[in-house]
């Protein structure tokens, strides 16, 4: 549960730093109207993803877990006009809402939404010339994170960034006997620490979505 003060500070920071935006607001409204779960990144987190993608001069971005396309819009806006976000989604209804949201934002030409299980789409991407990516955002099922991270590193150029959402889950990451989601997070963190291809850290976040965290990995080789 989000603490009242975390939520108030998030509102304050968002008011101060993230101007209202018609396309992003419309995407949230349409996602809620379609009954999608409100688990998208917050506005200041969306802007963080946008900022990090720009920091690595991203031209090709990979997103695993589209939902209604809210984070996709933030990422697509970090690209030059000929850049691409490839975004992977398994739920046809989520994909349909996301396509409409991206279209309304005027970003369809920069977004390549692939419907299917992420692991299948990743294997296809490796073969079809979409890689290498400059920036990857992993935000689908948490049990799948170890596999997605391994693909992400293989598909990312040296100097690129991989960001993983939801690595704290209200502190449940500490439960060694927890569910498959938490086991996925723990296995990912344990492996990444010894993965010579990356430099990794993780940070806790608090805010309107409660207590959670991001892991960030720089691909070094």
Q: Which residues bind ligand DHB (CB under 6 A)?
A: 39, 139, 165-166
Shortest separation between residue 221's beta carbon and ligand SAH, angstroms? 28
Find the binding residues for ligand SAH in span 82-101 (CB under 6 A). Answer: 88-91, 94
d(CA 28, CA 157): 32
Q: How many residues does the chain have?
A: 221
d(CA 36, CA 93): 9
Q: Does residue 208 interact with Mg ion by CB under 5 A?
A: no
Helix (H, G, I), strand (E, B) or coil at 204: strand
d(CA 112, CA 22): 22
Which one of ligand SAH, ligand DHB, Mg ion, none interacts with residue 94, CB within 5 to 8 A by kind? ligand SAH
Shortest separation between residue 214's beta carbon and Mg ion, angstroms? 9
- Whichever of 46 and 83 has its CB closer to ligand SAH, that residue is 46
Q: Does residue 10 interact with Mg ion by CB under 5 A?
A: no
Residue 210's region, left for phi above 0, alpha for psi from -120 to 50, else beta, is left
Shortest separation between residue 158's beta carbon and ligand DHB, angstroms? 28
Identify which range of 14-22, 140-148, 182-190, 211-219 contacts ligand SAH by CB under 6 A.
140-148
The DSSP symbol for 128 reads T
Q: Does residue 71 interact with ligand SAH by CB under 6 A?
A: yes
Identify which range of 88-96, 130-138, 160-168, 195-203 contacts Mg ion by CB under 5 A.
160-168
Cβ atoms of 199 and 219 within 8 Å: the answer is: no
Q: Does residue 165 interact with Mg ion by CB under 5 A?
A: yes
Closest CA relative to residue 11, chosen from 51, 43, 46:
43
Helix, strand, coil tally for the chain in percent (to 5): 45, 25, 30
Which one of Mg ion, ligand DHB, ligand SAH, none interacts with residue 134, CB within 5 to 8 A by kind? none
Q: Does residue 79 interact with ligand SAH by CB under 6 A?
A: no
Give the distance from CA 94 to its chain's centroid: 15
Cβ atoms of 170 and 142 within 8 Å: the answer is: no
- Whichever of 83 and 189 has its CB closer to ligand DHB, that residue is 189
Binding site for Mg ion (CB under 5 A): 139, 165-166
């Amino acid at each position: 549960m989000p603490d009242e003060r975390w939520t108030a500070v998030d509102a304050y920071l968002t008011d101060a730093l993230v101007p209202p935006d018609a396309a992003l607001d419309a995407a949230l409204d349409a996602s809620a109207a379609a009954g999608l779960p409100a688990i998208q990144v917050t506005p200041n987190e969306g802007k963080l993803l946008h900022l990090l993608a720009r920091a690595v001069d991203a031209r090709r971005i990979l997103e695993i877990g589209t939902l209604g396309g809210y984070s996709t819009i933030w990422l697509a806006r970090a690209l030059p006009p000929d850049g691409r976000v490839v975004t992977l989604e398994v739920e046809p209804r989520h994909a349909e809402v996301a396509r409409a949201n991206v279209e309304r934002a005027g970003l369809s030409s920069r977004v390549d939404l692939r419907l299917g299980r992420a692991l299948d789409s990743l294997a296809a991407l490796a073969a079809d010339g979409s890689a290498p990516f400059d920036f990857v955002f992993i935000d689908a099922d948490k049990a799948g994170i170890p596999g997605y991270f391994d693909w992400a590193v293989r598909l990312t150029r040296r100097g690129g960034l991989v960001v993983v959402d939801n690595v704290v889950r209200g502190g449940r990451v500490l439960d060694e006997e927890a569910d498959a989601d938490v086991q996925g997070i723990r296995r990912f963190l344990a492996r990444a620490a010894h993965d010579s291809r990356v430099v990794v850290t993780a940070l806790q976040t608090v805010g309107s979505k409660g207590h959670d965290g991001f892991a960030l990995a720089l691909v070094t080789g």
